[in-house]
Amino acid sequence: MRLSFIALRSLSLFITFLLVMSAIFFLARATGDPFAELIEQDPRIPKSAVERLRARWGLDKPLIWQYVDFVKSMFQGEFGYSVNYLQPVFDVIKQKLPWTLFLLTTSIIISTIGAVLLGAYTAWRRGSRFDLIATNLALFVRSTPHFWLGMVLMLVFAFYFPIFPLFGALTPGVKHSSTFEFIKDLLWHAALPLTTLVVRQIGMYMLYMRSATLEVLGEDFIVTAKAKGLAERKVLFRHAVRNSLLPMVTVTALRFGFMVNGAILTETVFSYPGTGRLIYEAIINSDYFLLQGAFFITSVCVLIANLIADLLYAYLDPRVRVG
Amino acid sequence: MKLPQAWKDRFRIWKEKFQSGMFIFIHNKAGMLGLTIVSIFVIMAIFAPFIAPYNPYKRVDDFLLPPSSEHLLGTNDIGQDIFSELIYGARVSLLVGLLASICVVSVGTVIGLISGYYGGMVDEILMRVCDIVLVLPTLPLMILLASLLGTGKFYVLILAITLTSWPGLARLVRSMTLSLKERAFVEAARAIGATDPHIMVNHILPNVLPLVISSAVYQAAGAMMAEASLSFLGLGDPSHKSWGMMLHYAQTTGGWWANKGKPCWWWIIPPGLCIATFVTGLMLVGQALELIVNPRLRRR
């Protein structure tokens, strides 16, 4: 891969990143003054204390200087102070981010494997009864809202058959005696949220994989492979799936952005202590340092995922590099 | 009224295309199934006052009654009939979906056309804005816009959905416009002195339109999902209860525990099932339309 290609992609991404940061800055300012709301909530707080807080976090400066401060602090990893949590934003995000990353990466891995296998198989057996049932089911599943799927799972597996817990990420107040116990508790709590995310994503991406495989199956080299007398399984996995994985790479990276939506809704239903729920709370409480920080983190994740996808795609498909 | 010959010809071609399209659609079982589902819900929404047995905003019976012959789907925590809520909810959900889809499609098409046709600086700026909206996570952006524009208003949801959903379609229309504007018929039109707006509306738009129409159905599906999510998070209009908002109330005011620690399945299951069924119907219709618009897919 040529270095100039990587450099060009990174530069273009960096410009987008700066623009996104500016958009976040101005959108966050528009939600209102977090410290003014502090007085509204508790009138006993003296005005002078609020003024001091505003000065401490630079809100008394003109907007343009606030913007300069903002850009500087973003590069230093300082995100300001959360009025709602009464903690630096960095600490709040640090507590919440691992939970969301755990949910998202685990569900992306499981659902990608599931979607690739199911998509390839249904394409291979297109028109069969299995294909018909699976594709229609997938269409239905991708049309169900995340939160409802979560509620139904909760209804069945936490109320009628109380196998899994109702909320949270770990049993509160329990000291885990060993790592094994900890992982057991973690998975037990994550089972329903993970199932919600995985089921819905398999529904979405199985159909992509299916149509990508169908496209490849129509190519000449598949006919050649078949004519050579290769076993069906070999034709499918060695020749077809390898090539149909290409579009899936892009889709998997783009999913990161969509996954944030899933995370917000799923975390809301299961009261999971992640960043998805955090963004929602930050907006509702106009806690704008927190909002900036959370938006910043998610946007950076999405951008990095896009860059990786671009580079991976160029690495896997030589045709892209030439153009 | 006398139409110019060019328009007469165009209408004739459209009519033929429409007829052949209808032929394909009618013979597409999945598409017809989707259309049936969509029609049932649309009829339900239009004739809601005649179908619903009770007023969904009034207390009509005791709290949290399980389904019975009197209340087909029981009652909620303040004694409202859930079946009636569901039927009236179709009005709100469908209307938001329809209006948002129209807005998204118009904005996306116009921006795509302008960006692709003029190119240069205009294109660069519009596509940068596109990138920004695509990178920012959609749902948080929608929540943010909805809370900025004032929550609890019907049109705010539509506005928030429109502002966040246009880039996909704009990109698509732009790329089509880029190739269309190089074609001979555009050059010919320009040679006889046609203005830019004239070329865009009369020569490029008709060629983009079929694709736009088929994607409008998907946009409606997406808009309905977005509306459901926003309403579920409590950003909907309380005076217009949609399916998403029914689930919001079920989640926040104790559809789970209020009934002596037992969940009310009749309150939780139906609204989501309605959303899922209707959106599936839209997707089926969308797929059938895609087959008509994109003949390459028909081989499968």
Q: B35 vs chain A: nearest CA distance in angstroms?
A: 15
Q: Residue A254: what pLDDT?
A: 67
- pLDDT tops 60 at residue A310: yes
Distances (CA, A) of B158 to A133, A283, B79, B101, B225: 34, 19, 30, 9, 12
Neighbours of A172 (CB within 10 A): 7
- pLDDT tops 50 at residue B48: yes
Residue from the list A15, A143, A151 with its beta carbon closest to the beta carbon of B276: A143
- Does residue A309 belong to the interface with chain B, where contact is any CB pair within 8 Å? no
Q: A178 vs chain B: nearest CA distance in angstroms?
A: 34
How distant is the alpha carbon of residue A243 from its chain centre? 26
Q: Residue A115: what pLDDT?
A: 92
The sign of the CA dihedral A164, A170, A174, A178 is: positive
**Helix or strand holding residue A88 (H, E):** strand A87-88
Q: Regarding predicted confidence, which is higher, A75 or A322?
A: A75
Q: Which of A306, A214, A245 is nearest to A112 (CA)?
A: A245
Please tell me the distance from the alpha carbon of residue B230 to that of residue A280, in angstroms, as a whole number.
11
To the nearest whole percent, how much of chain B has pLDDT over 70?
Answer: 94
Q: B192 vs chain A: nearest CA distance in angstroms?
A: 35
Instruction: Please name the residue of chain B whose CA is at the shortest distance from the CA of residue A253.
Output: B135
Mean pLDDT of the B7-25 span: 83
- pLDDT tops 50 at residue B189: yes
Q: State both tokens at B85.
A: 């809520």
User: pLDDT class for A130, splitting at 50, 70, 90?
Assistant: very high
**Helix or strand holding residue A155 (H, E):** none
- pLDDT tops 70 at residue A61: yes
Asked if the Cβ–Cβ distance from A23 to B262 is below 8 Å, we say no
Asked if the Cβ–Cβ distance from A147 to B299 is below 8 Å, we say no
- Give the tens place of pLDDT for each residue, A167-222: 777 877 777 778 888 888 888 888 999 999 999 999 888 988 998 888 888 888 88
Please tell me the distance from the alpha carbon of residue A165 to that of residue A158, in angstroms, as a whole number.
6
Q: Residue B107: what pLDDT?
A: 95
Most confident of A170-184, A222-236, B29-43, B286-300: B29-43
Q: Which amino acid is at B116?
A: G
Distances (CA, A) of A147 to A39, A99, A153, A154, A173: 34, 18, 10, 10, 28
User: pLDDT class for B3, splitting at 50, 70, 90?
Assistant: low
Residue with tokens 């399916």: B243
To the nearest whole percent, how much of chain B has pLDDT over 90?
Answer: 27
Q: Residue B272: what pLDDT?
A: 92
The sign of the CA dihedral B41, B43, B45, B49 is: negative
Asked if the Cβ–Cβ distance from B283 to A145 is below 8 Å, we say no
Please tell me the distance from the alpha carbon of residue B129 to that of residue B118, in angstroms, as a whole number.
16
The answer for A32, left when phi > 0, alpha when psi is -120 to 50, beta otherwise, is left
Distances (CA, A) of B265 to A26, B14, B73, B257, B270: 43, 49, 10, 11, 8
To the nearest whole percent, how much of chain A has pLDDT over 70?
Answer: 94
- Give the tens place of pLDDT for each residue, A135-155: 989 999 989 998 999 999 988
Average pLDDT, chain B: 85
HSE-up of B184 (CA within 13 Å, CB side)?
0
Q: Residue B299: what pLDDT?
A: 55
Q: Residue B300: what pLDDT?
A: 47
Mean pLDDT of the B68-89 span: 83
Distances (CA, A) of B180 to B186, B199, B204: 8, 11, 7
Mean pLDDT of the A11-18 span: 82
- The answer to which of A50-59, A181-190, B129-138, B184-193 has the lowest mean pLDDT is A50-59
Q: Residue A2: what pLDDT?
A: 67
Q: Could you give the domains of chain B?
A: 15-299 (1.10.3720.10)
Please tell me the distance from the alpha carbon of residue A304 to that of residue A310, in angstroms, as a whole number.
10
User: pLDDT class for B224, splitting at 50, 70, 90?
Assistant: very high
Geometric angle at alpha carbon B278, from B273 and B281, rounded to 5° = 125
Mean pLDDT of the A288-308 span: 80
Most confident of A54-63, A144-153, A254-263: A144-153
Residue from the list A144, A268, A283 with its beta carbon closest to the beta carbon of B272: A144
Distances (CA, A) of A266 to A82, A145, A190, A255, B280: 23, 10, 11, 16, 21
Helix (H, G, I), strand (E, B) or coil at B3: coil
Q: Residue A320: what pLDDT?
A: 60
- pLDDT tops 60 at residue B46: yes
- pLDDT tops 90 at residue A313: no
Mean pLDDT of the A302-319 span: 76
This complex has an ipTM of 0.86
- Give the tens place of pLDDT for each residue, B106-160: 999 999 999 999 988 999 899 888 888 887 888 888 888 888 887 767 788 899 9
Please tell me the distance from the alpha carbon of residue A110 to that of residue A38, in angstroms, as a whole number.
43
Please tell me the distance from the alpha carbon of residue B15 to that of residue B9, in angstroms, as a whole number.
10
B73 exposure class (CB count in 10 Å sphere: 0-12, 13-18, 19+): buried
User: pLDDT class for A323, splitting at 50, 70, 90?
Assistant: very low
- Does residue A278 belong to the interface with chain B, where contact is any CB pair within 8 Å? no
The sign of the CA dihedral B176, B116, A251, A226 is: positive
- Give the tens place of pLDDT for each residue, B252-279: 876 666 666 677 888 888 999 999 999 9
User: Contact B282/B221 with Cβ under 8 angstroms?
Assistant: yes
Q: Residue B1: what pLDDT?
A: 54
- Give the tens place of pLDDT for each residue, A74-123: 777 777 778 778 888 888 888 888 888 888 889 988 998 999 999 999 98
Residue from the list B128, B229, B276 with its beta carbon closest to the beta carbon of A140: B276
HSE-up of A256 (CA within 13 Å, CB side)?
23
Asked if the Cβ–Cβ distance from B137 to A257 is below 8 Å, we say yes
User: pLDDT class for A1, splitting at 50, 70, 90?
Assistant: low
Q: Which residues of A touch B244 (CB under 8 A)?
A: 145
Asked if the Cβ–Cβ distance from A258 to B138 is below 8 Å, we say yes
User: Contact A241/A150 with Cβ under 8 angstroms?
Assistant: no
- Does residue B29 belong to the interface with chain A, where contact is any CB pair within 8 Å? no
Please tell me the distance from the alpha carbon of residue A67 to that of residue A75, in angstroms, as a whole number.
13
**Helix or strand holding residue B231 (H, E):** helix B205-232
Mean pLDDT of the A55-65 span: 76
